[in-house]
Chains A and B, each alone.
Chain A
Amino acid sequence: MSARVSAVPSTTAPSLSSRRRLGDRLGDGALHGLTAAAAAAAAALLIAIAWKIFDVAHPAISKYGFGFLTHQGWDVARNKFAALDFIWGTAVTSFAALLIATPVSIAIGLYLSELAPRGARTVIASLVELLAAIPSVVLGLWGILVLGPFVGQDLEPWLHRHLGFIPLFSGTPENAGILVAILVLTIMVVPIISSICRELFVGVPTELEEGALALGATRWEMVRGVILPYTRSGVAAAVILGFGRAIGEAIAVTQVMGAGHGIHWSLFATGDTLASRIAEQYAGAAGLQVASLVYLAAILLVISLLVNLAARLIERRFTYQRTGGS
């Protein structure tokens, strides 16, 4: 550096600077190469994950084919395996959790962006986000020992008494089952969706909000007429991300769902999701059972890849619209 700055024409200067430049070029090249290799490794890791999982699932895939997805039953003794029960369990718990979590999260996002007292906003927002930091195993522990008994002994009997004519609320109340899993998953996805929603709502241009209010709209009318339409696709992406989280949760669901199978209409029944079945049976599994469990993981992998890509694509389109649209 000093050689170049004090560019006194001397005989040694050119050789010095060229040596320096060589060193710089090597340094630049090395750092560039190293960082690029790390990035490539991340991409390779993603491919390796997919490849390895399909590789280990191969015996089950070649034995059952796509029929695995459409058949019921999981019989270790007879070595017969199929995924439909768990696809069903995953779908029911995830969709139901989102059904509750979506309006709640949007409401929380609105509260934090529009209503909360200014001084308290960041505090409440970080409390809601802390909910996402609770380890799933602790939430599961709470779910099985605190929430479960409440659901089994108070909530479900109450639902059964008043709404028992609906098949969803028929059957015998249980401390563990689909309903508890739905509630635990709801608790897990609400902070994820609501924090994205909050950021989206805060990002709505003030001019638009003022335009609505200047017409004599109430806050809620402004929310319905301007904020929600403006952020629609972003909110959709957030919900999809929440869905990705819900389908993949293994531990807490395993703890509270009670390891059943079959397809039931009752939310009181026990069940299993793709992820929870894997978590339950990993120990002591052998042969075709291992391949079948990993086949379940492969299904989960494909769904979650699709879900994540979809969410990111929608997110990008939304950002593009926001910056290029007005």
Chain B
Amino acid sequence: MAVDATRFSLTLSRRTRRRKLVNLLMQVLATIAALAAVAVLAVVIISVAQRGASALSWDFFTKTAATFGQSGGGVADALVGSLVLVALATAMAVPVGILIALYVSEFASPRIADAAKLVLDVLNGLPSIIIGIFVFALLVIGSGQAAWKGSFALAIIMLPLVARATQEVLALVPSTLREGAMALGASRWRTVLGVVLPTSLGGILTGTVLAVARAAGETAPLLFTTSIAANAVTWDPRQPVLSIPIDIFALAESPDPADHARAWALGFVLISFVLVISLTARLLLARYRSKLER
């Protein structure tokens, strides 16, 4: 009976106690790791916000930098430059990206679709500085920098992001929808352009927005293609323009604390833009996906 009593006992044995302790320790470590990641995010955002928010003013957004040797001034040229660069890059990357996605999901055989996805993934995995060097070698050597060349480099970065996001959304479009359209006698291209694409518009849009967020923060591709610019606001894509990331990169290396303040302020603008739109896009995407999957 005494043997039975320990055999059926549910109180923790010493060994189980030790195992439970190891388990607890590991759970604590995992929790700490996750908290640490969130804490780093918070520390980065807070330190940028603290140092950057105070420098924001009307002049900061509307004036260009003070002439050489003087500190102060605004960053209007960088803001406009970034706007031009990203808008142009979006215009280049989005149509091509959607076409690639349509090819992969609607026309290609599984094998070719697989290969195309691999190409996109490899393109996405290339360091952005490689893209910068490529555009530099292709377009800049011999003829100089220009905003459109920078946009071209950004477009190469956006292309796989847009194409992959679109392709994934297209894959979610229920086949019953396609079949329904086909059963009405609609041709393939009408089905694709009239039914499949409009259904996926929300997903494509959020994918594009995420790509824009990424492009807006890219520095390396612009370094070689549009980084040396006149100290003036220009909307002309044939001229080299300044941009927010390039400006931060340059100001951070300056010994002048006033330049650091401007770098922080620009960093704050950039980080707010990027975080807000990627957060919104993620939420929309999640909602959109669950709607399609239902």
Contacts and interface: CB of A to CB of B under 8 A. Distances in A.
Say if the two chains contact directly (CB < 8 Å).
yes
A145 B252 contact: yes
Given A107-B29, A130-B275, A135-B216, A275 B127 contact: yes
Nearest to A224: B26
A5 interface: yes
A135 B189 contact: no
A221 interface: yes
Contacts of B286: 122
Interface in B210-250: 213-214, 216-220, 223-224, 227-228, 245, 248-249
A206 to B, nearest CB: 19
Contacts of B22: 218, 220
Interface string A32-67: 101111110111011011001101100000000000
A308 B57 CA distance: 44
Given A111-B34, A115-B27, A138-B48, A294 B133 contact: yes
Nearest to A142: B44
Interface stretch (B67-75, B172-180, B198-206, B260-268): B260-268
Interface of B is mostly: helix
Interface string B35-74: 0111011001001100100000000000000000000000
A76 interface: no
Contact of B270 (A138, A218, A308): A138
Contact of A139 (B32, B44, B123, B213): B44
Given A53-B133, A115-B30, A126-B282, A312 B107 contact: no
A307 B126 CA distance: 10
A147 B193 CA distance: 51
A264 to B, nearest CB: 23
A214 interface: no
Contacts of B34: 107-108, 111-112, 116, 124, 128
Given A27-B190, A39-B103, A135-B216, A111 B31 contact: yes
B91 interface: no
B121 A127 contact: no
A177 B36 CA distance: 23
Contact of B252 (A5, A144, A304): A144
A248 B106 CA distance: 34
Nearest to A122: B286
Contacts of B123: 42, 45-46
A37 to B, nearest CB: 8
B274 A108 contact: no
A191 interface: yes
B31 A218 contact: no
Given A24-B189, A53-B133, A107-B29, A134 B44 contact: yes
A125 to B, nearest CB: 9
Contacts of B248: 137-138, 141
Interface in A272-326: 275, 278-279, 282-283, 293-294, 297, 300-301, 304-305, 307-309, 311-312
24 contacts: A1-B186, A31-B107, A31-B189, A31-B193, A39-B108, A42-B119, A46-B119, A46-B123, A49-B134, A55-B137, A107-B29, A108-B30, A115-B27, A130-B275, A137-B249, A137-B252, A142-B48, A146-B47, A244-B127, A283-B228, A297-B129, A300-B127, A300-B130, A305-B126
